[in-house]
Amino acid sequence: MIHCIFCKIASGAIPCTKVWENKKYLAFLDINPITPGHTLLIPKKHHDYIFDMNDEEYNELMGIAKKLSVKIKKSMNSKKIGMMVEGFLVHHTHIHLIPLQKAGDLNTENAKKESPERLTVIAEKIKAGEI
């Protein structure tokens, strides 16, 4: 998809603060995190609506979300990882994985821009964990 920002991130045409990747999937930090460590997991291949994905890819994506949540939770010292799917701003399937300390933390009104330097520090912390 020529005009899709996440396709451009997946191809490397636009930079991102990468947390993890394999051949088919990529996880990177949201530039407007709701809490520190807020990660976006995407399939590299363009899909719009997550529930239109075929079962195999959907299950793979969810399996990676599960593994990543362990890594993010540990490195960010959070109580839980919240999961959110909206996709009204970017029409390329993505799962938000958001470190939570308490009820109410999963609130898009708390999203605010983070500096690239700070995102890099956080990504390094997450990457140091194992998946």
Q: Minimum distance from CB of 32 to ligand 5GP (Å)?
A: 4
Under DSSP, the state recorded for 27 is E
Stretch that binds Zn ion, among 5-13, 52-60, 67-75, 116-124 (CB under 5 A): 5-13
What whole-number distance in Å separates Cα of residue 130 and Cα of residue 3?
34
The verdict on whether 47 is a catalytic residue reads no
Given 38, 71, 73, 92, the residue binding Zn ion (CB under 5 A): 92
Nearest of 9, 31, 120, 27 to residue 72 by alpha carbon: 27
Residues that bind ligand 5GP (CB under 6 A): 5, 16, 28-32, 40, 86-90
Please give the single-letter amino acid code of residue 24.
Answer: K
Q: Which is nearer to ligand 5GP, 20 or 56 (CB)?
A: 20
Nearest of 30, 37, 16 to residue 122 by alpha carbon: 37
Catalytic positions, written as ranges: 94
